[in-house]
A = this chain, B = another copy of it.
Amino acid sequence: MKHFITTLDWSREELQAFLDHAKALKADPIQPLLKDKSVALVFFNPSLRTRTSFDVGARQLGGHAVVLQPGRGAWPMEFEVGAKMDADAEEHVIEAARVLSRYCDIIAVRAFPKFENWEQDRRDHVIKAFAEYATVPVINMETITHPCQEMAHMLTLQEHLGQVDGKKFVLTWTYHPKPLNTAVANSGLIIASKFGMDVTLLCPTEDYLLDERYMNAASEYCSQNGHELTVTHDIEEAYDGADVVYAKSWGALPYFGRWDAEREIRDQYQHFIVDSEKMAMTNNALFSHCLPVRRNVKVTGEVLDSEQSVAIDEAENRLHVQKALMAGLIGD
């Protein structure tokens, strides 16, 4: 039994096998691969795409999803081992994971960081606790990485570009009125570098570098594939000749928990919005974003509605890759 917590745990070949299965399921979506199986979807944060695509996907494979929202209809939960539970939490993840494992064949978990202390959040302790105590496979529906999104992104790139090796992939930070999770940014960096792309990270300042765990992993993957991870704060340098522009906003890690101070910096970089002028500098690049996206803040409506935009395809591909993942993890 193997969990799907982060793609760092999986080889490119293993991930490509899931992608190949996803392509097959996209062509022929109704298959009894999860017949009479149940999947618990545990949401500590909101969702539209993830919830719908897992639910519909389980059903198309003959299975069934149960949506649980701890603290909103289900009990608030404790994660620290050995805690004396005399505060708000009524249930420990030990019991929750063990019990859900008796009812369901897969447990999928969404647990965003708390945005107070990055050293704490980077431990990814919620999903790791589920993985430790569950006796069925656990799937990450976004914590501090978003591996299902990565897979959908890569499937989309392969559909549109064929071979992705050596293509210039630009992950661009964009402005957002709130300091967001780095999960999709971490994931974008990892998947592109692991699959042999020539990766550039564009962000306003050094404060917006991603966690070293993901920077180092991306750097290493790039090296293994004969590239070098490029980090730049120069918009023109980044967009020049890009084959893929992937946009995401995130809060600066050194300011974690001090968001008022961070906001003063962030507010200065609203011009990082993806617009037609920037896209014109690229090699007719594909544009994508994980959704939800704030129109005319992170990207103009013009770019988002253009033929180069594959954001809706990427969202659709969530369905197909997650079906492949569920079937693969259960079949193991």
Contact = CB atoms under 8 A, between A and B. Distances in A.
A90 interface: yes
A66 B86 contact: no
Given A48-B70, A74-B51, A312-B99, A91 B292 contact: yes
A167 B192 CA distance: 63
B291 A85 contact: no
Nearest to A71: B46
This chain's copy number in the assembly: 3
A315 B102 contact: yes
Nearest to A72: B73
Given A38-B59, A316-B103, A319-B102, A297 B48 contact: no
Interface residues of A, number: 61
Interface stretch (A76-84, A158-166, A205-213, A220-228): A76-84
A31 to B, nearest CB: 10
Nearest to A292: B91
A70 to B, nearest CB: 7
A53 interface: yes
A135 to B, nearest CB: 10
B64 A46 contact: no
A60 B38 CA distance: 9
Interface of A: 30, 36, 38, 40, 43, 46-49, 51-53, 55-56, 59-60, 64, 66, 68-70, 72-75, 78, 81-86, 89-92, 94-96, 98-100, 102-104, 177, 291-297, 301, 304-305, 311-312, 315-316, 319
In the A-B complex, list the 4 residue pairs whose CB atoms are closest, starting with the nearest. A91-B292, A85-B294, A102-B316, A84-B296
